[in-house]
Chain A
Amino acid sequence: MSPCDFNRRQFLKYTGAATIAATLSMQDVAQAASVTPLPLGTPILVIVTLYGGNDGLNTVVPYLDPAYLSNRPDMSLDASEVIPLSDSLALNGTMTGFASLWTANKLAIVLGTSYPNPNLSHFSSMAIWQSGSPIEEISSGWIGRYLDSLPRDPFRAIGVGSTLTPLLAGDHRVGSMVPISGLQVPNGSLATQLELLAVSSTQDSELIADAAGSIGDLFSLSSTLTPVLQNAPPTSATPLAQQLDVVANMITANVPTRVYSVSLSGFDTHADELSQQNVLVGQVSDAITAFLTQVGTTARANDVVVMVYSEFGRRVEANGGEGTDHGTSAPVFVAGNRVAGGFYGEQPSLTNLVQGDLAVVVDFRDVYASMLEDVLGADADKILNNWSTKLDLITPVS
């Protein structure tokens, strides 16, 4: 094993986070309960992670390209199974919601997105996307470093689920996790005694301080979120839509959160891909469209931007199991009222491959820089280690 592998695997290790957890006090808890609502007009970023490596070519489909059809004889989508966006590219036919966002000019499709020398390992590649650092290996997430640049606030970035996503882990701050069913805390003397367990102690190691901090965070988050989440339990049927229901409820209740993280798994389609991937990208499209429709009826309609990515796309040529093996670049989606819809980058050639896989056209840091600067108002070159270019995906507020 190379030293670099150990570091990639270290990705979940955020030593500095403990420093902050250790400072959590009863005053913090009381303060968080009376936290100020997020002012209207404050942009909000919703990050959707697709785990497993979504097949870009069966999502944004080069449906007339002979190389697409010949490389995938049993698993290509023909013209009747897609929704054309241009004379060469089409959406997977299950993605009717995204097609309507495209028509309304609210969907940006960033073609051929990856990073230099793409890594074909799920774990290494996802660590690269989530750390935002393809060259130098660093152990914090790019949203975690955004949190590092600001005062501590357990509400600023929230992931839906139970285990911490590396994306939200900085060197000094971590985002919070909220399960779909919301947070319930005990009351009375048990609450008092549990909150005593959350008080920081000079004897604490970093991990023990994290354990104490997680108990404290439960109480501080719950006091604000429980009324929000209990009033409107998720009603949707699919896992991603349920997570986005929770996010929509928090947004409309003015919870002071700038970044939300949700995810969907199951994209590692080495075999029998068509039956699985069509369903999954359909769920992604339906869930995000419904979510934007829901917040679109509120005063937050212009505040929300959704970004969708996966750790890699898949091989051009199908394998024997009517699936595809790990590949490289793939489209990233950015959606919302303020998004300048259209194609960015260009579709990589299916015949002029780089080491057998699709070429990289756009570096994902150009997308991240746009999200950091034009959605979160943060300093992208600092957070992305001197990265200086970006795409203009977001329409400036006039």
Chain B
Amino acid sequence: MTAASDRLELSRLVHRFGLGPKPGEYLQLLAGGIPQARAKILARRSDPGLNALVTPPFPTMGQAPSDPTASAAYWKEVYDQSVSVAMWWMDRMVLADYPFVERMTWFWHGHWATSISKVTYALPMKIQNDTLRTHALGNFKDMSRAMVRDGALIFWLDGEENVAYSPNENLGREFMELFTLGVGNYSQSDVHQAALGFTGYNVDQTSGAVTFDPKLHDNDKVSVLGKRQVFDAVTLSDWIVSRPENATFIARRLWFRFISSSIEPPASLSKVFENRDISPLINSIARNPAMRRPQYSQAKSPVEWFVSACRALRVTPSKLPSSGAVSWYLDSMGQFPFNPPSVGGWPYDEAWLTAAATQYRINLAYYLVQNGHIDALTSVPKSKMVQAAADWLGVAQWSVRTERSLNQAVSDSARLALLALNAPEYLVNA
């Protein structure tokens, strides 16, 4: 008999550090014990699940044609690419056998939150996504260096408007507030001077290509966080990331999204991030005793819920009959990849648990079950189907209330799947 605390810890490992179990995976991992399961979930290795996935082309769109017919086709193509780049990424999240890298990339997307609503074109967003994936478990200093020269991010925060003779503070401020240091660890003067350091970078909006124009760059010394020198984006990023506050800030951001938005991390957590290596930090978080304590529950965001449901149902998002339906439902629930509501990223926990989101979730779950595979339920006798649903979805334990509801549906396994995907214990990772 497995300990309830093992079921809880494994449920957190597969949902928070993976993206939900594939059919049979939860019981299989449970049988091997927590240390082995954790090693598998945190492993970085070539992923056979992604072998068959073809990356669609995202060609440079160039300028919009003036001819009305050609223009309409151009903008339809731009829109279609914005859906298909999101579907491509969600395919990766769903198909991966080792989804840890995709999970981390998803975290970093919310951290460096850049929205296609302004960037417009899929290609720059795809380039940024590849950059975040490359550095997802690498060194934060390298990631930050790459991001301050990322076309989508610069365009999103008006970096191409930021020129020596008239600085624009948007990138300088958000870089320190949201990406590296956190509010309170810099002054308004630092924001202004950092903006000067970031001057001179131009972006080609449709391709995301970044060029540096020395004539638009401030070549005078500026003073940022007590250091006075001539900065460019890279030296400025290095200096800010080297500040001790960066280690505390990034450690807390990861803890916030992986462990708890309400209970603070231990003060010692940032020690393992002294070299700015992300992998030891996230591994330390995954091994924290909080993983076994009941009070650290977290709600799944709409995309996390959708991806985990697709993994369980063996549904490939882009192969569903209608990509439009998927994007409409997720958008209505408040979350679609590459389209965060602001540079602050997405909300969390209680904000997702509204009556409004519930109705879309019920309908989307119905659509997914219709188009998915539920042999994990149909292959067991009725008397075992409710427990089989918990094992299938990686739920530690159903409440008595949920068991009562699911028991009413054991003669209709599709109905039972629909209810299980909407059960409070599936919406919230206990």
Contacts and interface: CB of A to CB of B under 8 A. Distances in A.
A1 B358 contact: no
A55 interface: no
8 contacts: A15-B262, A193-B405, A196-B401, A197-B419, A204-B399, A207-B350, A217-B358, A321-B158
B183 A8 contact: yes
Question: How big is the A interface, by class?
Answer: 35 or more
B356 A161 contact: yes
Contact of B354 (A9, A12, A164, A201): A164
Contacts of B425: 208
B162 A320 contact: yes
Interface in B391-417: 399-402, 404-405, 408-409, 415
A51 B401 contact: no
Contacts of A323: 158, 161, 168
Interface size on B, as a range, is 35 or more
A3 B410 CA distance: 50
A4 B162 CA distance: 30
B427 A211 contact: yes
A1 B245 contact: yes
B177 interface: yes
Interface stretch (B127-135, B225-233, B248-256): B248-256
Contacts, number: 223
A124 interface: yes
B169 A326 contact: yes
B24 to A, nearest CB: 25
Given A123-B344, A196-B404, A207 B353 contact: yes
Interface stretch (B56-64, B80-88, B293-301, B382-390): B293-301
Interface string B305-342: 00000000000000000000000000011100000011
Interface string A186-210: 1001101110110111011111111
Interface of B: 157-158, 161-163, 165-170, 173, 177-178, 181-185, 188, 191, 245, 248-249, 252, 256, 261-262, 264, 294-295, 297-299, 332-334, 341-344, 347-360, 362, 399-402, 404-405, 408-409, 415, 418-419, 422-425, 427-428, 430
A183 B353 contact: no
A379 interface: no
Interface stretch (A39-47, A171-179, A362-370): A171-179
A121 interface: yes
Contacts of A169: 350
Contacts of B166: 319-321
Nearest to A1: B182
A82 B311 CA distance: 56
A212 interface: yes
Contact of B299 (A189, A211, A212): A211
Interface string A315-331: 00001110101100000
